[in-house]
Amino acid sequence: MGVEGIGARVLRKEDKRFITGKGRYTDDMSVPGMKHAAFVRSPHAHAKITGIDVETAKKMPGVIGVLTGAELKADGIGNLICGWMIHSKDGTPMKMGAWSPLATDTVRYVGDAVVIVIADTKGQARDAAEAVDVSYEELPVVVKTAEALNEGAPQLHSEAPGNLIFDWDIGDEKATNDAFAGAAHVTKMDIVNGRLVPNAIEPRATLGVYDAGEDHYTCWTTSQNPHVARLVLSAFYNVAPENKLRVIAPDVGGGFGSKIFIYPEELICLWASKKTGVPVKWVADRTESFLADAHGRDHVTHAELAFDKDNKILGLKVQTIANLGAYMSLFSSSVPTYLYATLLSGQYDIPAIHANVKAVYTNTAPVDAYRGAGRPEASFVLERIMETAARELKVSPAELRRKNFIRTFPHQTPVIMNYDAGDFDATLDAGLKAADYEGFEKRREEAAKRGKLRGIGLSCYIEACGIAPSAAVGSLGAGVGLWESAEVRVNAIGTIEILTGSHSHGQGHETTFAQLATERFGVPIESVSIVHGDTDKVQMGMGTYGSRSGAVGMSAVVKALDKVEAKAKKIAAHLLEADEADIEIKDGNVRVAGTDKSLPWFQVALAAYTAHNLPSGMEPGLKEGAFYDPSNFTFPGGCHICEVEVDPETGVTEIIQFVAADDFGKIINPMIVEGQVHGGLAQGIGQALLEGTHYDDTGQLLTASFMDYTMPRAQNLPSFNIMTTETPCPSNPLGIKGCGEAGAIGSPPAVINAITDAIHNNNLTMPATPQIVWNAIQAAK
């Protein structure tokens, strides 16, 4: 490892522009003639549209256009789709209700877009939007996950009778029932994983520009995957063919999954730009973000875990209702199925698992992937029930887990996943030691003297990231492959550009991806630039989500670097009159091993481009591309330990310590990994303690601002005690696993396990606000 290579704590190259306000976000983009859009959105959770009168609005000052869904349909713009096919257990395909980008006959959640208004200024667009007169006939509403399937519940889509999208099974039901039949102990629990609003600091935004001269569209957008956006906009929404559509995702201020999906607004602004002849920009305000960004989680689950007389797990049964909201967002179907139930084996050797997932429609915002996407829900179910089982069996929660750990790899679980590597004892031991788990009872006694209830909770999570092998996900219903691409361009004087299909919206790719080239060629990190986020610059790529940029995106870079290195060595061998096998590249020099014969790196690059003296038959240039398709998911895992003190008088929980011992395999930049863990823990603890999404019975979102929706603040969080162990991933060339989501996946059950331990009441929902904890304390009295 050099000072800037793999493993080095290189400061983030991108931070200079971010912390000096020089980042360039979609809302910073401006083009001549640009106008501003506002959307008329449904104030009702469920209603028939009986009329749309736009005449007054059209006459308002500055108004350029007022456009409806009927016009959109007439122009052949398609409905929004879900790109992952799930089949119910009876073999029938999922039942997807039509989602028109602008509602024409029915609105199904508060915030559903109905009309777009384009005007000279944003204020004028809003004024005119208020003047649009939409007549509604209100319909009955279903909001709660657990009520969507009730007989007589209001119906959202005629395509999905009973609001049931799919009724999906995984695992072997008979084998699981047989395992339960021989159980010495069964732990049963009802578990709710509440709904979250993503709240990226930069709201969604888009700028659609139609160039009539070229019949070409440009879409600036807040996307985690601009190429996927172009593919979907072209292939499914009929906006324009791919070669006539450029999608640019410039600096993006956080995504957490919510900016994977293609929303109505991007495609409407593109279409409206052609329709009105002006570039159209839309920037969500915070209320729109709350209402109309895809939300996360929202599961209602019953789980049962069976043990033999020696406390070895025999089987797990899980039944989940997953709320997908009013429409199926782009990857919504994959989240509560293949990203959730496939992780239910956790770190444990469980012989038989059966899970059933029913996905339902409700009159709420669409639900899709949000940091962790399915895996936090799985770890919450499993780690809550493991801790509960330990309490029922009166054994140490740590030792019950240890007794059931998987220790031989590869390990085939009963739910598809094949774990390639792991060392769960190592992370558990590291966590227990760091938390002084053994000394806890003394601390509990000391706290009791101060009138505080002290508790400790564990979570030994596993997750599958680095998504994903294309053929495997294709066989499971994915509409796309999940490989990644890269191109390494060595310029004539040796500087390097790495073009990647991954997209950085906070992850630090401009630093970590550059570290790979620095490690390989010994060039200073300043001379390596990362190019991403523009379909005109970068070849097809799949973008950033599912902690895949390291494991998949970087692996593609490594493949391209391999090719560049091979060609550079050929050139150097020719110039130095040596055998190719004897050439080594080190510290910015290319030399013949064991001799003093060497060339500076830039001379090899220059030779490639002058082409005055290349090996016979070699093409000029030093630029290589690669596509990398992973052979497996990667499986980060770890042990999170949370210790809390609860004030019994008020129900306030204070986190005294939070230990995270994670195994991310090989680490490229420890500082950036720590940042990812800190952010993930903040989100996980935010879910556990603070973030609650409330719709009232009429479907109005009560928590539609930061005055009512509690985001984690620094004062809510302890100073984290984090550490890593390293079991290299055998499935990719760098041995890396992915760390972006682990904090949000592992932490919520550790927090809730700690609080329930403190208050001696296991019946506690998230977020465990002071009111909810106080209620639970009263109930336990």
Q: Is 721 in the site for another protein (CB under 8 A)?
A: no
Residue from the set 690, 717, 718, 730 that interacts with another protein by CB under 8 A:
690
Least Å from the CB of residue 756 to another protein:
19
* Residue 577: half-sphere exposure toward Cβ, Cα within 13 Å: 0
Which residue stretch of 312-320, 446-454, 619-627, 709-717 sits at the interface with another protein (rule: CB under 8 A)?
709-717
Which residue stretch of 138-146, 377-385, 637-645, 708-716 sits at the interface with another protein (rule: CB under 8 A)?
708-716
What are the tokens at 483? 């490989």
Q: Is 769 in the site for another protein (CB under 8 A)?
A: yes
CA 502 – CA 499 distance, rounded (Å): 9
Q: Is 698 in the site for another protein (CB under 8 A)?
A: no
Least Å from the CB of residue 131 to another protein:
13
Cα 704–Cα 706–Cα 711 angle in degrees, nearest 5: 115
Which residue stretch of 230-238, 255-263, 468-476, 690-698 sits at the interface with another protein (rule: CB under 8 A)?
690-698
296-308 as b/e: b if 16+ CB within 10 A: bbbbbbebbbbbe
Of 18 and 706, which CB lies nearer to another protein in the complex structure? Answer: 706
What are the tokens at 687? 């879910």
- Cα torsion angle, 123, 128, 131, 137, sign: negative
Residue from the set 210, 271, 461, 709 that interacts with another protein by CB under 8 A:
709
Of 736 and 777, which CB lies nearer to another protein in the complex structure? Answer: 777
CA 708 – CA 340 distance, rounded (Å): 29
Cα 703–Cα 705–Cα 710 angle in degrees, nearest 5: 70
CA 766 – CA 769 distance, rounded (Å): 8
Least Å from the CB of residue 194 to another protein:
13
Residue from the set 707, 714, 719, 781 that interacts with another protein by CB under 8 A:
707
DSSP state of 527: G
Which residue stretch of 390-398, 583-591, 597-605, 698-706 sits at the interface with another protein (rule: CB under 8 A)?
698-706
Least Å from the CB of residue 540 to another protein:
42
Of 631 and 650, which CB lies nearer to another protein in the complex structure? Answer: 650
Q: Is 761 in the site for another protein (CB under 8 A)?
A: no
What are the tokens at 16? 């200079």
Which residue stretch of 200-208, 352-360, 699-707, 728-736 sits at the interface with another protein (rule: CB under 8 A)?
699-707
Of 285 and 587, which CB lies nearer to another protein in the complex structure? Answer: 285
Binding mask 161-200 toward another protein (x if CB under 8 A, else -) reads: ----------------------------------------
Which one-letter amino acid corresponds to residue 107?
V
Of 563 and 694, which CB lies nearer to another protein in the complex structure? Answer: 694
Q: Is 62 in the site for another protein (CB under 8 A)?
A: no
Least Å from the CB of residue 15 to another protein:
24
Which residue stretch of 401-409, 503-511, 615-623, 705-713 sits at the interface with another protein (rule: CB under 8 A)?
705-713
Query: Does residue 458 contact residue 641 with C-beta atoms inside 8 Å?
Result: yes
Of 74 and 707, which CB lies nearer to another protein in the complex structure? Answer: 707
- Segment holding 118, helix H or strand E: strand 113-119
Which residue stretch of 84-92, 119-127, 548-556, 675-683 sits at the interface with another protein (rule: CB under 8 A)?
119-127
Q: Which residues in 242-281 contact another protein (CB under 8 A)?
A: none
Query: Does residue 123 contact residue 343 with C-beta atoms inside 8 Å?
Result: no
Q: Which residues in 121-160 contact another protein (CB under 8 A)?
A: 123, 126-127, 130
CA 206 – CA 272 distance, rounded (Å): 12
Q: Which residues in 571-610 contact another protein (CB under 8 A)?
A: none
Q: How many residues lie near another protein (CB under 8 A)? A: 24
Q: Is 765 in the site for another protein (CB under 8 A)?
A: no
Q: What is the dihedral of CA 177, 311, 743, 204, to 10 degrees?
A: 20
Least Å from the CB of residue 278 to another protein:
23
Q: Is 420 in the site for another protein (CB under 8 A)?
A: no
Q: Which residues in 623-652 contact another protein (CB under 8 A)?
A: 649-651
- Cα torsion angle, 12, 14, 16, 18, sign: negative
Of 50 and 121, which CB lies nearer to another protein in the complex structure? Answer: 121
Q: Which residues in 271-330 contact another protein (CB under 8 A)?
A: 287
Residue from the set 694, 718, 728, 733 that interacts with another protein by CB under 8 A:
694
Contacts of 679 (CB under 8 A, 6+ apart): 506, 743
Of 132 and 406, which CB lies nearer to another protein in the complex structure? Answer: 132
- Cα torsion angle, 749, 750, 754, 757, sign: positive
**Secondary structure E strands in 215-260:** 216-221, 245-248
CA 453 – CA 446 distance, rounded (Å): 10
Residue from the set 84, 513, 658, 774 that interacts with another protein by CB under 8 A:
774
CA 225 – CA 548 distance, rounded (Å): 12
Least Å from the CB of residue 761 to another protein:
16
Which residue stretch of 297-305, 410-418, 523-531, 763-771 sits at the interface with another protein (rule: CB under 8 A)?
763-771
| Size (the chain), residues | 781
Q: Is 703 in the site for another protein (CB under 8 A)?
A: yes
DSSP string, 259-285: TTSPPHHHHHHHHHHHHHSS-EEEE--
Q: Is 654 in the site for another protein (CB under 8 A)?
A: no
Burial class (CB in 10 A: 0-12, 13-18, 19+), 158: exposed
Query: Does residue 364 contact residue 143 with C-beta atoms inside 8 Å?
Result: yes
Q: Is 702 in the site for another protein (CB under 8 A)?
A: yes
The backbone region for 99, taken as left when phi is positive above 0, alpha when psi lies in -120 to 50, beta otherwise, is beta
Which one-letter amino acid corresponds to residue 12?
R
Of 130 and 215, which CB lies nearer to another protein in the complex structure? Answer: 130
* Helices of type H across 544-600: 555-576
Neighbours of 380 (CB within 10 A): 30
Least Å from the CB of residue 125 to another protein:
13
Q: What is the dihedral of CA 305, 307, 311, 313, to 10 degrees?
A: -70
Least Å from the CB of residue 651 to another protein:
8
Which residue stretch of 105-113, 556-564, 610-618, 764-772 sits at the interface with another protein (rule: CB under 8 A)?
764-772
What are the tokens at 528? 């390596």
Nearest CA to 14 out of 504, 390, 455, 486 is that of 504
Residue from the set 93, 138, 771, 780 that interacts with another protein by CB under 8 A:
771
Q: Is 620 in the site for another protein (CB under 8 A)?
A: no
Of 84 and 709, which CB lies nearer to another protein in the complex structure? Answer: 709
Residue 4: alpha-carbon gap to chain centroid? 28
CA 778 – CA 759 distance, rounded (Å): 10
CA 530 – CA 622 distance, rounded (Å): 17
Of 144 and 185, which CB lies nearer to another protein in the complex structure? Answer: 144
Least Å from the CB of residue 392 to another protein:
30
Which residue stretch of 352-360, 371-379, 473-481, 765-773 sits at the interface with another protein (rule: CB under 8 A)?
765-773
Least Å from the CB of residue 130 to another protein:
8
CA 695 – CA 410 distance, rounded (Å): 44
CA 749 – CA 755 distance, rounded (Å): 10
Query: Which stretches of the chain bind another protein, using CB under 8 A?
Result: 123, 126-127, 130, 287, 649-651, 690, 692, 694, 702-703, 706-711, 769-771, 774-775
